[in-house]
């Protein structure tokens, strides 16, 4: 899990996919969702607890590549960004690239976040939970999104988990 280092203590995250690239969400860099002064220009890797920086690396973001057809409307279509880092990440027991989704048959996923805990406070520890894939029609009926093809995955947890009210 990669934490984006942003001004004003805002939180966004991503996943390390190679020694030089992080996969993140385009909405983390869209002015529609962020104040103009909201800037994420570094990544922090290896951090499990924000009170302890042991085993972490902080690296500058060299380039942000936002999907050119990112839809900032209701569907979040193409909500994807690649972040090229200014230097290669040194892999360790705490910092490794993720395994990318390879098979359409996958039905369960793990999501992680430093978002708010059940009591509404910002978590100092990286939180994780499992979510299950939801069929598109149920997703369209349950959530505000209208997924019209297989390019997006709809998943939810049977309980609040790490991101209350958030769809992954």
pLDDT tens figures, 1-16:
888 887 766 678 899 9
- Distance, in Å, from the CA atom of 29 to the CA atom of 4, rounded to the nearest integer, reads 11
Q: Which residues contact 103 (CB under 8 A, 6 or more apart)?
A: none
Q: Which two tokens stand for residue 97?
A: 């690239």
| Residue 97 domain flag | no
- Distance, in Å, from the CA atom of 10 to the CA atom of 15, rounded to the nearest integer, reads 17
Find out whether 50 and 114 touch, Cβ atoms under 8 Å: yes
Do 24 and 66 belong to one domain?
Answer: yes
Please, which pLDDT band fits residue 28 given cuts at 50, 70 and 90?
confident
Do 11 and 68 belong to one domain?
Answer: yes
Question: Taking the CA atoms of the chain, what radius of gyration do you get in angstroms?
Answer: 16
**Cα dihedral 53→59→64→66 (10° resolution):** -40
Task: Write out the residue range of the structural domain in which residue 72 sits.
Answer: 2-85
Q: Where are the beta strands (DSSP E) in the chain?
A: 2-6, 13-16, 21-24, 40-45, 57-66, 81-85, 108-113, 127-133, 155-156
Please, which pLDDT band fits residue 72 given cuts at 50, 70 and 90?
low
Do 65 and 131 belong to one domain?
Answer: no
Do 28 and 80 belong to one domain?
Answer: yes
User: Phi first, then psi: what are they for 142, rounded to 5°?
Assistant: -85, -40
Please, which pLDDT band fits residue 87 given cuts at 50, 70 and 90?
very high
The predicted model gives 108-120 an average pLDDT of 76
Q: Which two tokens stand for residue 19?
A: 């020694």
Q: Which two tokens stand for residue 147?
A: 């997924």
Listed as own residue / partner, the contacts of 56-62 with beta carbons closer than 8 Å and 24 or more positions apart are 56/94, 57/89, 57/90, 57/95, 58/5, 59/85, 59/86, 59/87, 59/89, 60/85, 60/86, 60/87, 61/22, 61/85, 61/86, 62/86
Do 7 and 81 belong to one domain?
Answer: yes
Do 60 and 124 belong to one domain?
Answer: no
| Residue 35 domain flag | yes
User: Cα–chain-centroid distance for residue 123?
Assistant: 16
| Residue 96 domain flag | no
| Residue 167 domain flag | no
> Could you tell me the CATH number of the domain that includes residue 36?
2.40.10.10
Do 63 and 133 belong to one domain?
Answer: no
Please, which pLDDT band fits residue 121 given cuts at 50, 70 and 90?
confident
């Amino acid at each position: 899990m990669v934490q984006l280092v942003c001004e004003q203590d805002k939180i966004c995250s991503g996943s390390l996919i190679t020694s030089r690239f992080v996969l993140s969400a385009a909405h983390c860099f869209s002015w529609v969702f962020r104040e103009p002064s909201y800037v994420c220009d570094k990544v922090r890797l290896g951090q499990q607890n924000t009170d302890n920086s042991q085993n972490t690396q902080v690296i500058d973001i060299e380039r942000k590549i936002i999907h050119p057809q990112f839809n900032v409307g209701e569907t979040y279509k193409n909500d994807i960004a690649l972040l090229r880092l200014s230097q290669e990440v040194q892999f360790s027991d705490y910092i490794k690239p993720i395994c990318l989704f390879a098979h359409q048959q996958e039905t369960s996923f793990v999501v992680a976040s430093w978002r708010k805990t059940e009591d509404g406070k910002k978590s100092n520890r990286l939180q994780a939970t499992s979510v299950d894939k939801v069929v598109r029609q149920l997703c369209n009926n349950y959530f505000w999104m209208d997924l019209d093809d297989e390019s997006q995955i709809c998943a939810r947890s049977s309980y609040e988990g790490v991101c209350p009210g958030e769809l992954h």
